[in-house]
Amino acid sequence: MNALARILAVAALTLGVTSLAHADRIRDLTLVGGVRSNQLVGYGLVVGLDGSGDQTSQTPFTTQSLENMLQQFGVNVPANVRPQLKNAAAVTITAELPPFAKPGQRIDVTVASIGNAKSIRGGELLMSPLKGADGQVYAIAQGSVVVGGVSAQGKSGSSVQVNISASGRIPNGASIERSVATSFDKGGDIMLNLNTADFTTAARVAEAVNRNFGAGTARAMDSASIAVRAPLDPSQRVAWLSTIQGLEVTPGDAPARVIVNSRTGTVVIGSEVKVGAAAVAHGAIQVTISEQPQVSQPNAFSKGQTAIVPSSQVAVSEDGGHMFKFGPGTSLDAIVRAVNQVGASPSDLISILQALKESGALRAELVVI
């Protein structure tokens, strides 16, 4: 069994198991409206590098940033002097501010070079503000950068690199200075937003809440949102929501969909995919071109020149064609077995699925990414 056959067989087995009715917690199916993280970004300097920093002749903003920082400490660099730095690098800093984060708590930050620094391994990030989309400072970052990659280069120009050494992380590298206001403690209904919009799942979530807490407690607003009545007191709202999130609901069936990744050749076929009556022919034509250069040697005293004459051999071969037929309402298992029998490659399988979709025999949504 080839690699594609094994992948499709495992996918079919997995989808067959997951197609059975099962219950998930509401916590795993939904997100609470208004309770989300916020992105933070900042700019700073990493210093203390071992000669692997920015080349200031090509990244003048690194020198400018350092001069501005030195001025804040009373150090004035003459206007006609351009420091040639090797141990500093300009970087961007990104972080994610979790919901309900309070001042004084710490979060991880990611540091990435924006200049031509070869590596920021062993560097120290100087104090840098992190701002939100509104331009306000929400955290201050500083600390030693931890880099997972490594690179080395010899005098001859040979080099080796493992992962990326121009970016790294600082665990607990930022201290939160400002919290983000939320509407969770403002009273009113709590909105539960489904991770995957589905009318059936939304109706079942509302039904489960009403069954446990009384009719009218929850109502499905659309295929993605369920409004739930909640107490006004914040502490009671927390306990109320915790109980609701623990309820189990059987989600609706997944849509009939085939996902094709044209770059990697990965194909995922949903358990609800059906194929109408169709016949598929599968064959392969191979064109082989081989080059065997020959040396042409002139005769003695002919005043000719030795030359290399190209010699090409072209061969065309067609393997035995395969054909398989799908009956009406063919299931996923039959599709997988048929594809395995003909030994189709990922590119062949993509072509077969696209042809079935164009013919109207594939009763599923075909998504190519």
Q: List the structure tokens of 260.
A: 């094709």
308 with 256: CB under 8 angstroms? Answer: no
Q: What is the mean pLDDT of the chain?
A: 76
**pLDDT over 80 at 111, yes or no:** yes
- 330 within 8 A of 299, measured Cβ to Cβ: no
3-state secondary structure at position 111: strand
Q: How far apart are CA 246 and CA 235, in angstroms?
A: 17
User: Model confidence at 355, in pLDDT bands (50, 70, 90)?
Assistant: confident
Euclidean distance between the first and the last CA atom of the chain, given in angstroms as a whole number:
27
At 357 the pLDDT is 75
Question: Quick one: average pLDDT of 315-331?
Answer: 55
pLDDT recorded at residue 263: 72
Q: What is the pLDDT of residues 255-271, one digit of tens each?
A: 777 777 767 767 777 77
Task: Return the top range by mean pLDDT from 18-22, 25-29, 258-262.
Answer: 25-29
Q: How many other β-carbons are positioned within 10 Å of the β-carbon of residue 274?
A: 17
Q: Per mean pLDDT, which range of 56-60, 185-189, 244-248, 297-301 is the poorest? A: 297-301
Q: Kindly give the pairing relationship between strand 225-228 and strand 190-194.
A: antiparallel
Who wins on pLDDT, 126 or 2? 126
Given a cut of 70, whether residue 327 has pLDDT beyond it is no
Distance CA 94, CA 40 (A): 6
pLDDT digits (tens, 9 = 90+) for 70-87: 878 787 777 777 777 788
* Span 347-351, average pLDDT: 70
User: Percent of the chain having pLDDT more than 90?
Assistant: 20
pLDDT exceeds 90 at position 288: no
Which whole number is the average pLDDT over 205-215? 90
- Half-sphere exposure in the Cβ direction for 90 (13 Å, CA): 18
